[in-house]
Amino acid sequence: MIHNSMISCVGSTPMVRLNRCFPDPNLDVVAKLEMLNPGGSMKDRPARFIVEQGLHDGTLQPGMRLVESTSGNLGIALAMATSLHGLSFTAVVDPKTSSANLRLLELFGADVEMVTEPDEAGGYLHTRVRRARELVEATPDAVLVNQYANDLNWRAYFETAGQEILDVVDGPIDYLVAAVSTSGSIQGIARRLRQEHPGMKVVAVDAVGSVIFGAKAGPRQLPGFGASRVPEILDVNEIDEVVHVGDAESAAGCRRLLATEKIFAGGSSGAVVAGIEHLTSRLDHAARVVTVLPDRGERYLDLVYDDAWVAGLRDPWQEPEAVVSS
């Protein structure tokens, strides 16, 4: 197939067994490589879906501007999707946004607005969201994407990634294990998979310090993993277990994935590896686990793959044991 643009190349990412990372013969861990989307992350899916659905139903028109608070991946994806469809995009970022993501946003054609004032939770998310709303109110023909409350977010994964997994994986799926931030990907994929596998358990991997599932707010260093707000689109009744993973354990998971499988993935993928390890260490039966590796490792060279950055964290083996709730 010859595509007409990069945005039409989004999706149909491959799946691979992680049998070197998880060598237990009773365990089948299958990962969807979302970093192989053209924009480098799973966020290409909602970006394309939101833009194309908006153009289809008339809520978006060529020449309009989208605005969104983003730590990087969705912003990069929206910059690509909007530009290819004749729209403009403003990304509202903060000082924790990596230098690589800032440069990519600029190269993809986004206008970048940096907030510097911490919010009431000690992070920047609420400040970013407020600034995004201010920009929309002050800009004619501007639309707020609002990924935490936008049903098109989870629907993008339901209609694409969820179906793609079913097309590839034969037989039962016992667990879906996925990292969370907006909750769009885990919910969209889970809802589609459960139509065929109603007994499947859904395990959310959240960051230590994230408040998504009611835990105490705390400092977090990895962008795009966890959140300091509860997403409006989240339905906690659809999540069977939550595993909280710290930054150091996420970094260790990234390095384990690279060492064993030669998969160079981002911080939330390392958290997923740690979450699967915590889950499977408690299992007393054979199981198939499906997971999603959200983005590429190049965007984390100065984070989880930087020895000095990791040394500034607590030793991975001294991380408090992951908190598991159901």
96 a catalytic residue? no
What letter does residue 28 receive in the DSSP assignment? E
Report the alpha-carbon distance of residue 128 to residue 278 in Å, rounded: 33
Report the alpha-carbon distance of residue 268 to residue 258 in Å, rounded: 14
Beta strands in the chain (DSSP E): 15-17, 27-33, 65-69, 88-93, 111-114, 142-144, 175-179, 201-207, 241-245, 287-293, 323-325
Tell me which of 43, 96, 201, 216 is the catalytic residue. Answer: 43
In one-letter notation, the amino acid at residue 43 is K
Report the alpha-carbon distance of residue 301 to residue 295 in Å, rounded: 13
Report the alpha-carbon distance of residue 29 to residue 245 in Å, rounded: 19
What letter does residue 314 receive in the DSSP assignment? P
* Tokens describing residue 221: 């260093």
Listed in sequence order, the residues at least 6 apart from 48 whose beta carbon sits closer than 8 Å to its beta carbon are 7, 10, 77, 81, 156
Q: Is the dihedral of CA 254, 257, 260, 263 positive or negative?
A: negative
Residue 321, judged by CB atoms within 10 A of its CB (0-12, 13-18, 19+), counts as: exposed
Query: Is there a contact between 241 and 325 (Cβ–Cβ < 8 Å)?
Result: yes
3-state secondary structure of 89: strand
Q: What angle, 0 to 180 degrees and rounded to 10, lies between the N-to-C axes of helices 151-159 and 184-196? A: 40
Beta strands in 184-319 (DSSP E): 201-207, 241-245, 287-293
Q: Which residues does the annotation mark as catalytic? A: 43
